[in-house]
Structure 1
């Protein structure tokens, strides 16, 4: 076997790398269909299968109440509670949801959060923070038991990495209302040349005629799909000419792979799933987002005042506008736009993964008999696999189900491998969609001892969340 190398850098206009035929080390790119500018209606040519294939190949607000403590410690109080969102403004009451409150949570890399988590929901709940590596003491279900109504829990949450992450109440599938995630933004210690930093949380709802919403894991019959960005059915951004924006796109849907496109705008991908990537331009300004995944991009507000760039969303069936970026009437910030941005400051991720001496495991997806629903999961069951700390781990993920399965690894980020295990894509992931009958291989360095969850869910609204766990000793 040849020594591991990284795949070649992405060519201009490429979006998502796909592992290709035996004998080739570089990566081809998946085109996201012909995308043309909207005239009377948006044209955004994708199918549900396109979304799965594209991602499977790659895969504003108040913060938490906080009090600064000495030595980078921050006391944080957070409650899971009943809340509401206006999905049909001006036409009825708010839709009941379960949330951690509204708005983004923003801290700095290196801080340690002393979290007090309280549960005010009518069902047991734990706190799930997606994308935070190496925090076994805060891991839901394996370390933190579900809290009964009215109970509280306390633990520490060290913020090892800068990036875009996500927190949400973790409840069982018998929930009576959908849960809302809350973005967690961890800023780095090195400056980044941008003029604005915006979070765009995309959420999907299945709304009944009585304005209540069907939680994921339940049959969505007799409901209407609705999408929001930051809680609004139409979200607009205004910026001066030649301003550079960092847009942090988050797929807050718990079941659907989505595509989002910024019409007629150059979109430079800078980070995926909270970790910096080798920058590359998204083809036609389109991004593929699996449930819970995040992609940070840089865009420049170019053109005269009043220039408008539509934000389109595609759910695999049709495209529709969900917002726009508008060049404001303010004077341009500079005479010309910035040149293409260099990579973001690194997070001290492993430079190499020893694939030759890796511990290897096969993991079947779409196989409910080997997995547990949230309410049935017990940390006393045997782990899916065990690895020694400091060793490389390669997982072969085979989807035996009838539809695409979305895989999420807690505790560690991973590389998506080429077909020959002789290289990997130039970014890190914590979430990957795998098509039916397909096998994808991923690799990570088992850096952090502890017990961590593994999740899978079929890309179908009625599908349950399924769990296992793994151990790093």
Structure 2
């Protein structure tokens, strides 16, 4: 379980005690409980232009004042992408970077025609590609460029928010994109997949090293936390607040309270929570971030001087509207496969991936699939399934946790079993990456026929 001590008020240094192993274990513990895009909508179809391009961000204490330095990065543009469930996006993706790239949209199920590497080739510098993204589910998703090679600058992901057709009773809906940076002494940033020697670790929320939220008393906020870090499992704590988990990896969950207000997020994973701005004007709640080595404050939620939005906070929220996910999984007749993580054997770097390679597994459409994921590496490894969401199974395969996932961190020497319904025919990627900044991103593919 996550071990979180009480903080003095105000804290000199946050007491938020975790180790790397605690972070991975806490993932299982949780289970127990814009310039761009240019958009034109017509009849449920929306044209979206996304460009992978050079960008800059202020990360150093001496920026970004007059003449202050900024750090070169790569990005897909600025603000969150927001659309409605049921829309179909006509995407034009352009690559203005010096390395080959493809668009990877994390969490969008069943879009085989848009699948990077398996269906869409990596675009050379200056290339363009067009495809459709039907938004069949509401939730919090993530778009990022996938590269043949690591490149010379880190790439920023871009949140994709799909709202449902039914209203949700919140006063504010805000994304908190957490990113991790490794800065050299000269202020340049080291891309993931490279040795971070002699670098300084920095975290940002929405591009800022300190991020504050202000809301009137008794306002209900939906906070969509995204771990945009490329390699690190992170814990986020909202000090002295009741935090109610509502969705994980883009899919609604049976609501449950986050233990001591803390969330644990694997790289690329997303957790939506509801919190109420409780207390008199001027009350503030620290937002703490823990990377397995130390905790640090990265912002706060403050009760503003505006009049309360209602006399008292809302009662506990009911579950979010569903996304028509499978009600049951037939584990008795499921197709079963074993996958080894933590080693490069049979896995490929994106630059070496060939669609002609043998699939990791093949399943018939409409059949349940159980994967046994064993981490043979020396450190935790993160597994990501494209195309389908999965259930994390109990140890005896006699049930599953009450939420869906698309990403899972697995401790060294451990085996976790997951299950999903092979709903969508096509070819899809699977990914693994060790929780080490220098570790390569590795891919394979699977088929649903």
**Alignment TM-score, normalising by the size of structure 2:** 0.97
Matches within 5 A, 1:122-137: 122-137=98-113
Matched, 1:181 2:157: yes
Q: Bigger CA drift: 87-96 or 175-184?
A: 87-96
Q: Which position in structure 2 is the counterpart of 1:151?
A: 127
Equivalent residue number for residue 339 of structure 2: 363
Shift in Å at residue 90 of structure 1? 3.4
Which of residues 378, 381, 393 is equivalent to 2:357? 381
Per the TM alignment, residue 53 of structure 1 is displaced from its structure 2 partner at its CA by: 1.5
Give the count of matched residue pairs.
441
Measured in 1, the distance between the counterparts of 2:384 and 2:94 equals 25
Query: Within 1, Cα distance between the matches of 2:30 and 2:435?
Result: 16
2: distance between equivalents of 1:306 and 1:63? 36
Q: Give unpaired runs (5+ residues) of structure 1.
A: 1-30
CA distance in 1, matches of 2:298, 2:92: 35
Q: Cα–Cα, structure 1 residues 63 and 36, in superposed 2: closer, same or farther, change >3 Å? A: farther
The RMSD of aligned alpha carbons is 1.1
Give the Å deviation of 1:144: 0.4
The DSSP-based 3-state class of the residue aligned with 1:406 is strand
For normalisation by structure 1, the TM-score amounts to 0.92
User: Any conservation in 2 of the 1:264–1:309 contact (CA below 8 Å)?
Assistant: yes
The 1-side partners of 2:254 and 2:108 are apart by 20
Offset, 1:330 = 0.2
Structure 1 residues 23-57: Cα deviation after superposition (integer angstroms, max 9, x where no partner): xxxxxxxx211321142211101111101121256
Would you say 1:83 and 2:59 are equivalent positions? no
2:247–2:271 Cα contact (<8 Å) kept: yes
- Which is worse superposed, 90-99 or 330-339? 90-99
Deviation at 1:438, TM superposition (A): 0.4
1:312 equivalent among 283, 288, 312: 288
Match of residue 179 from structure 2: 203
What's the secondary structure of 1:173's corresponding residue? coil
Of 351, 361, 365, which aligns to 2:327?
351
Distance (whole Å) between structure 2 residues aligned to residue 120 and residue 111 of structure 1: 27
Instruction: Output one character per residue of 1:266-296: Cα deviation in whole Å (capped at 9) or x when no partner.
Output: 0000000000000000011000000000000
The residue correspondences of 1:393-472 to structure 2 (distance < 5 A) are 393-472=369-448
Secondary structure of the residue aligned to 2:223 is: strand
Partner of 1:262: 238
Residues 367 and 400, structure 1, Cα contact 8 Å, conserved in 2: yes
**SS of the counterpart of 2:345?**
helix
Task: Measure the CA separation in 2 of the matches of 1:185 and 1:311.
Answer: 22
The one of 298, 302, 310 equivalent to 2:278 is 302
Does residue 66 in structure 1 map to residue 39 in structure 2? yes
Runs of 4+ in 1 over 6 A off after TM superposition: none
Contact 1:173 1:464 in 2 (8 A): no
Match of 1:42 in 2: 14
After alignment, is 166-175 or 385-394 more displaced?
Answer: 166-175
- Distance across 2 between alignment mates of 1:302 and 1:63: 36
Structure 1 residue 63: Cα displacement? 5.8
For 1:319 and 1:188, the matched residues in 2 are separated by 35
Partner of 2:227: 251
5+ residue gaps, structure 2, are none
User: Is residue 200–residue 229 contact of structure 1 (8 Å, CA) maintained in 2?
Assistant: yes
Give the superposition deviation at 1:218. 0.5
For the 8 Å contact 1:173–1:465, the answer to whether it is kept is: no
Answer yes or no: is the 8 Å Cα contact 2:36–2:49 preserved in 1.
Answer: no
Quote how far apart the aligned CAs of 1:141 are: 0.5
Residue 247 of structure 2: which of 263, 271, 286 is its match? 271
- Show the 5 A alignment for 1:11-26: none
Question: How far did 1:173 drift?
Answer: 3.4
